[in-house]
Amino acid sequence: MTATAISPPPTAEPEAAKSSRGLVDKVFRARELTLLVALVALVVGTQLSNSRFLSEQGVKDLFLNASILVLLAVGQSVVVVTRNIDLSVGSVVGLSAFACGKFASGSTHSVAAVALVGVLVGIACGVVNGLLVSLGRVPSLVVTLGTLYIIQGIDYYWAQGEQINAETLPRGVLDLGTGSVLGIPYLPLIAAVVLLLTGWYLRGYRTGRELYAIGSNPEAARLAGVPSARRVFTAYVFSGAIAGLAGALWLSRFGTVVADAANGWELQVVSAVVVGGVAITGGIGTVWGAALGALLLTTIGSALVVLKVDSFWQKAINGALLLAAISIDRIVQVRVTRALRKRNARHG
């Protein structure tokens, strides 16, 4: 008599995987929902204290103030999900803003040409970071901390104390920072488009999902055939390009640029990303959460100004939110891991 092996039901493993993914998605949708609730509560509370907070101009200012930070948070998120970090973004914004100002000053260049200059400067910086991290295998913290100061030094050397002033810039460049379409300022629209496209790419394309695989388990991703070095390099180039675009928008928004533009912004960007639910250990989080984190931090700053609270408290609150977010991420990670183990055990 021939023994016949009984195969396990073919649907068991897919159901377990689907269940696991569903659990993780629920956890982080809840995190983003919590941020949204906190943001709404902050806005409502400030409006009750000062009725001018949500005036037409007040709402425009809220979104204008958040636009550049949202852009940078989107670029930073793509790097952080790969279990890396880019601390040079503030310096890249400053250098690209000054480069755009020098290019546009006293000329009739179009907005597109000025923005292209900023993006190219950012890409060049991203290429350097990406090569050192992905091919040189130097820790990203060390690389980007070093390039932060190098790029900053280049900016200071180039500027030599010079200041770019609004009166020397083409009208179109300034209109980008102050103009609107259907009452919506251009800058928030640009940030929203970049956010939507990036979120769609990360979720809808295999190469985008591979970034999460690298951050979740680099060794497993390598064994699965994921070209980790290439993906990490691309993430840094993208982050640099976004920082370069942010530099061009910085010029349009403020009109005046000096060598230390956006100095220290890298800390705000990292705070926004982590507060938004992108785990600093990689593999977890969305650009939507990072954008909410950026909007929350800038709204806190605006609310404190309206309420006439010392600006010191903004930094203290940002620091407290950052510590809370990291602690929550750790707790959630441990609990999700336990839950996934139990579910996998039940499914064999």
For 114-132, how does the pLDDT look when each residue is reduced to its tens digit (9 = 90+)? 999 999 999 999 999 999 9
* Grouped pLDDT means (10 residues each) for the chain, 348 residues: 45 41 55 81 86 84 91 96 94 94 89 95 96 93 95 91 88 88 90 95 91 90 90 96 95 88 88 88 88 90 81 74 73 65 65
One-letter amino acid of 130: G
Residue-level pLDDT at 15? 45
Reference 164, options 214, 96, 233; nearest CA is 96
Reference 271, options 241, 240, 315; nearest CA is 315
**Cβ partners under 8 Å of residue 128, min gap 6:** 147
**H-helix segments, the chain:** 12-49, 56-80, 89-104, 111-130, 140-159, 171-178, 186-204, 206-216, 218-223, 228-254, 265-275, 287-306, 312-346
User: How far is residue 240 from each of residues 65, 258, 303, 334, 345, measured CA to CA in Å?
Assistant: 21, 20, 30, 33, 43
Residue-level pLDDT at 70? 95
Phi first, then psi: give them for residue 180, nearest 5 degrees: -155, 165
Question: Residue 9 burial by CB count (10 A; 0-12/13-18/19+): exposed, middle or buried?
Answer: exposed
Reference 272, options 290, 260, 259, 257; nearest CA is 290
Residue 226 zone, left/alpha/beta (φ > 0; ψ -120 to 50; rest): beta
Reference 164, options 67, 265, 254; nearest CA is 254
Could you identify the residue written with the tokens 């990203």?
Answer: 140
Question: Residue 198 is encoded by which pair of tokens?
Answer: 């990036």
> What's the full length of the chain, in residues?
348
Residue-level pLDDT at 9? 42
What is the per-residue pLDDT across 208-249, written as a single tens digit (0 to 9) for each? Answer: 999 999 988 888 888 888 999 999 999 999 999 999 999 999
Question: Residue 330 is encoded by which pair of tokens?
Answer: 């750790």
Residue-level pLDDT at 313? 74
Question: Residue 183 burial by CB count (10 A; 0-12/13-18/19+): exposed, middle or buried?
Answer: exposed
Reference 71, options 211, 241, 212; nearest CA is 241
Q: What is the pTM of this model?
A: 0.85
Q: What is the largest CA-CA distance in the chain?
A: 94
User: Domains in the chain, ordered, with CATH?
Assistant: 56-343 (1.10.3470)
DSSP code per residue over 113-164: HHHHHHHHHHHHHHHHHHIIIIIS---HHHHHHHHHHHHHHHHHHHHTT--B
Rg (CA), the chain: 22
Question: Residue 91 is encoded by which pair of tokens?
Answer: 């310096």
